[in-house]
């Protein structure tokens, strides 16, 4: 059976304890269950209203339901939604200009990374994020906090890193070639008034005798 990729959307609602909806949303995948403000802790209070929709069908149903129940911020109903659904309110030209100015001069986090490396970083970030969705995930993280690896484990970790080549790019502040995946930390250290241990370590490596 061939799945229709265009019909991957659904419309969901978050319910109060009395069963009345307080939020209507549209999404795909685990959107309805992602950790966000106001999300109910009890999964039984998350209701998938209709699935296997196209994006337009999902937007239309979302707008219809928000209009039906009304919004609390406008005094028209019971929902905590801040928009009327659909694509949401269109941004004004002034808002677009401010967003554009705020983004200028910033280096994208994945600049210089290959497609494979970028995908791997995203997968790692997602796995860390989803670990917090369950009590078991948090328990696992707390259990391993401060754990000291054995010499055998350290050796395996070291062997796994050998031969890996990470792309570098010059720092806009000091001009040094820095690994792309460490650029954020490098720039953050520049912004500190007191010279950090990070730069002290770099200086030692720079002047280390060959």
Check: CB of residue 22 under 8 Å from CB of residue 38: yes
Q: Could you state, in order of their start, the residue ranges of all structural domains in the chain?
A: 9-69, 166-210
pLDDT in tens, 135-192: 666 666 666 666 777 888 888 888 877 777 777 888 777 778 888 777 777 777 776 6
Q: What is the per-residue pLDDT for 88? A: 62
Find the range with the poorest average confidence among 17-31, 112-126, 151-165, 192-206: 192-206
Q: What are phi and psi of 70, to 5 degrees?
A: 80, 165
Q: What is the pLDDT of residue 156?
A: 85
* Residue 210 token pair: 């060959």
Cβ atoms 53, 9 nearer than 8 A:
yes
pLDDT (tens digit per residue) in 123-132: 776 665 555 5
Nearest to 11 by CA among 69, 68, 86, 70: 86
């Amino acid at each position: 059976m061939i799945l229709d990729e265009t019909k991957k959307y659904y419309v969901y609602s978050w319910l109060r304890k009395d069963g009345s909806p307080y939020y209507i949303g549209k999404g795909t995948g685990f959107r309805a269950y992602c950790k966000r403000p106001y999300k109910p802790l009890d999964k039984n209070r998350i209701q998938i209203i209709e699935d296997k929709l196209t994006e337009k069908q999902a937007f239309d149903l979302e707008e219809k339901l928000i209009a039906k129940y009304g919004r609390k911020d406008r005094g028209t109903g019971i929902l905590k939604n801040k928009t009327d659904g659909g694509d949401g309110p269109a941004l004004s030209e002034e808002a677009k200009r401010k967003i554009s100015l705020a983004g200028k001069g910033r280096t994208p986090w994945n600049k210089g990374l290959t497609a494979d490396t970028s995908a791997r970083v995203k997968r790692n970030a997602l796995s860390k994020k989803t670990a917090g969705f369950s009590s078991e995930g948090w328990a696992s993280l707390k259990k391993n906090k401060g754990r000291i690896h054995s010499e055998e484990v350290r050796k395996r970790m070291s062997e796994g890193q050998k031969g890996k080549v990470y792309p570098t790019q010059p720092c806009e502040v000091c001009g040094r070639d820095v690994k792309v995946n460490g650029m954020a930390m490098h720039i953050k250290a520049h912004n500190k008034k007191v010279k950090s241990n990070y730069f002290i370590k770099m200086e030692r490596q720079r002047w280390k005798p060959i």
